[in-house]
Structure 1
Amino acid sequence: MDFVTNFRHSAPYIHAYRGKTTVLWLRSKVLDHERLMSIVGDMALLSSLGLRLVVLFDAHDSHNNPISSAQITAEQLLNITAEIGQRRYAMEAMFSQGITNSPMHGANVNVVSGNFISARPAGVVDGVDLMAQGRVRRVNHLAIREQLDNQNLVLIPPLGYSITGDILYLSPDNLVVEVAKHLNADKVVIVGDNPHPSTDGQKEMSLDALKGAISQLNESSSGLLELKVAHNASMAGIPRCHIIDGHEDGALLSELFTRDGVGTLVARDSYDTFRKARANDISGIAALLKPLEDQQILVKRDQETLENDIGHYLVNERDGMIIGCAAVFPLNEHIAEIASLAVHPDYQKGGRGNALLNAAEREARQLQLKEIFVLTTQTEHWFIERGFRAATVQDLPENKQRLYNIERNSKVYIKSLVS
């Protein structure tokens, strides 16, 4: 697709994300200067489009990132805070750029950080004093929201502050979940290891599927920590969690502004559903049917006809877009017509036509009908492969025979629903 088409297709996401709170976790692998420069530019663009961004980041590289059960001495904490400071200041400097003809020109992103996280010592675990290892005590969500309301980007390092004035290290994988939960975030986005090698390339996963996948992985599996955090965030009530490959340039934008994305999405709600059509689906159905009507594959239906018939339609909705539809028109107590069976060209290889036909058959069975039929000019083999048999116009109910369009000369195929 060309630029204009791509930009138009991203418009629904631009509208949907405006004013929504997104918590991003930047893993160590993307914090080198070159990768970070690119991601900062993408985050500035997201901010300009109205997303409310809270950004967390790792303290060390992935091999030396302290785990939540590790003891952290005063000397280690000093090294951690020094590295955190360097990374924080580097990001603030990048957000301050404004060179002409660069992605940051005119961005004017204000970055705010501070003592938003109260912490307590982790204490003694299994006989070991974890010393400067901490646990989240409180997230000052009101102060964070105030900064977001002022259109500032909030930067949160993996540190917390105790009531005694101590600095404590907070494991980022736990901190991400706590911050997102207290902010009632709309999304968590993890930019780190690519989990696709560990999940057979799945782009969308339910909570149950994700839990099952994690149970089959070992500690060296690609993206295991990212998958665990996505699971925990989803369990904490975050509607959608995205994991994207930190090595892929532009992955953040591709994941959020294209329908299929490039990473892994864990959604609590129904991202891809088959359901009864509603009145607000009419424009989506019309757009889906029009190319097939123009090719005379389907009979043309005007807006008024669709409005009158909307109660007979089933749709396949994917992330707010109607990508498939079918209609069930009962003609008497015995038989129904299946019509307007269509799938968007981008999704015609995924078995959605079968799923729509099966949904239509279930609908007919619920109405206690015995047969269904189709009229087709170009897809008779597809229906034959799915159990339909050739018939004649005379086999149709009389009310349908009277409406049969001789000029189209459609072929008739009937399927019994009685086993």
Structure 2
Amino acid sequence: MSAVFNFTFVPWFRSVAPYIHKFRHQTFVIGLTGEAIAAGKLHNIAQDLAMIQAMGVKIVLVHGFRPQVNEQLAAKGHAAKYSHGIRITDSVALDCAQEAAGQLRYEIEAAFSQGLPNTPMAGATVRVISGNFLTARPVGIVDGVDFQHSGVVRKVDAGGIQRTLDMGALVLLSPFGFSPTGEAFNLAMEEVATSVAIELRADKLIFLTEVS
């Protein structure tokens, strides 16, 4: 080991060791905005989260997709509609949300599959698992506005998520929930992340935005 490397690496490693001890086996719920993904930050974020998971932290990643859905709507000549700060999800917007969620899941899984030598992901094995962990109900009609396929979290399958985390996987959640009849509802990423953090009794709830 060179003297330069020794004098830089060893003190740094000693300084971070207390954090490794502190956060090992803890659960972090990360809310990742669609804006951050659109800004090209996904690969760096994936590298950081892979390193955190390697330290023994259990991670639930909830992604948003607002700009991606709006882009899909614009391509179809359909205006995005909001009321009370909530998207009005008509049938066209629901189709766009499903398309955006599928594309983002692909991109996120690809980002966590990096493994080139001389990169932070070299030698990393991050298993990304998604699932129908959320039950939702419709927002309904508020002040005369029908939110159609927009919903709110009704129940979180905390046991299922915890078992998946205990397997060593990273849990990836899209902002979708399903009713007992199988109907899909578009949810707010912030609400999903908060609800999951509460039900899991997570140690940290962190939101990553386009300026993170």
**TM-score normalized by structure 2?**
0.85
Which whole-Å deviations, capped at 9, do the CAs of 1:270-308 have from their partners, x for residues lacking one? xxxxxxxxxxxxxxxxxxxxxxxxxxxxxxxxxxxxxxx
Tell me if 1:122 matches 2:128.
Answer: no
Aligned-pair distance for 1:99?
2.1
Q: Which amino acid aligns with 2:32?
A: L
CA distance in 2, matches of 1:143, 1:189: 21
Indicate the SS of the match to 2:41: helix
Q: In the alignment, which residue of structure 1 is the partner of 2:202?
A: 185
Q: In the alignment, which residue of structure 2 is the partner of 1:138?
A: 155
5+ long unaligned stretches in structure 2:
1-6, 71-79
CA distance in 2, matches of 1:15, 1:180: 21
Q: In the alignment, which residue of structure 1 is the partner of 2:127?
A: 110
CA distance in 2, matches of 1:95, 1:63: 23
Q: Which amino acid aligns with 1:104?
A: M
Q: In the alignment, which residue of structure 2 is the partner of 1:42?
A: 48
Tell me if 1:24 matches 2:36.
Answer: no
2:191 counterpart (151, 174, 192)? 174
2:10 counterpart (4, 11, 23)? 4
Task: State the superposition RMSD in angstroms.
Answer: 2.1
Q: In the alignment, which residue of structure 1 is the partner of 2:180?
A: 163
2:88 counterpart (62, 67, 71)? 71
Give the structure with higher Rg (CA): 1
Contact 2:69 2:93 in 1 (8 A): no
Pairing of 1:245-324 with structure 2 (within 5 A): 245-246=211-212
Q: In the alignment, which residue of structure 1 is the partner of 2:98?
A: 81
Contact 1:159 1:169 in 2 (8 A): yes
Tell me if 1:14 matches 2:31.
Answer: no
Q: What is the total number of aligned residue pairs between the two structures?
A: 195
5+ long unaligned stretches in structure 1:
194-244, 247-419
Contact 1:56 1:172 in 2 (8 A): yes
Which whole-Å deviations, capped at 9, do the CAs of 1:296-331 have from their partners, x for residues lacking one? xxxxxxxxxxxxxxxxxxxxxxxxxxxxxxxxxxxx
CA distance in 1, matches of 2:21, 2:138: 42
**TM-score normalized by structure 1?**
0.44
Contact 1:68 1:171 in 2 (8 A): no
Q: Which amino acid aligns with 2:50?
A: A
CA distance in 1, matches of 2:8, 2:117: 26
More contact order relative to length (CA 8 Å, sep ≥ 6): 2
CA distance in 2, matches of 1:43, 1:140: 23
Aligned-pair distance for 1:70?
3.2
Which whole-Å deviations, capped at 9, do the CAs of 1:145-165 have from their partners, x for residues lacking one? 001000100001111011111
CA distance in 2, matches of 1:95, 1:87: 12
Indicate the SS of the match to 2:137: strand
- What percentage of aligned pairs have identical amino acids? 37
Pairing of 1:54-69 with structure 2 (within 5 A): 54-61=60-67, 64=70, 69=86
Q: Which amino acid aligns with 2:24?
A: R
Aligned-pair distance for 1:98?
1.9
Which whole-Å deviations, capped at 9, do the CAs of 1:102-148 have from their partners, x for residues lacking one? 22221110000010000011111111211100011100000000010
Contact 2:139 2:148 in 1 (8 A): yes
CA distance in 1, matches of 2:85, 2:167: 33
CA distance in 2, matches of 1:99, 1:81: 31
Contact 1:28 1:60 in 2 (8 A): yes
Indicate the SS of the match to 1:31: helix
Residue 33 to residue 94, structure 1, CA distance change in 2 (3 Å): farther
Q: Which amino acid aligns with 2:182?
A: G
CA distance in 1, matches of 2:171, 2:94: 23
Aligned-pair distance for 1:101?
2.3
Residue 192 to residue 33, structure 1, CA distance change in 2 (3 Å): closer
Q: In the alignment, which residue of structure 2 is the partner of 1:328?
A: none
CA distance in 2, matches of 1:32, 1:143: 30
Which whole-Å deviations, capped at 9, do the CAs of 1:55-78 have from their partners, x for residues lacking one? 011112299596763321011011
CA distance in 2, matches of 1:48, 1:69: 36
Indicate the SS of the match to 2:67: coil
CA distance in 2, matches of 1:186, 1:68: 28
Contact 2:134 2:154 in 1 (8 A): yes
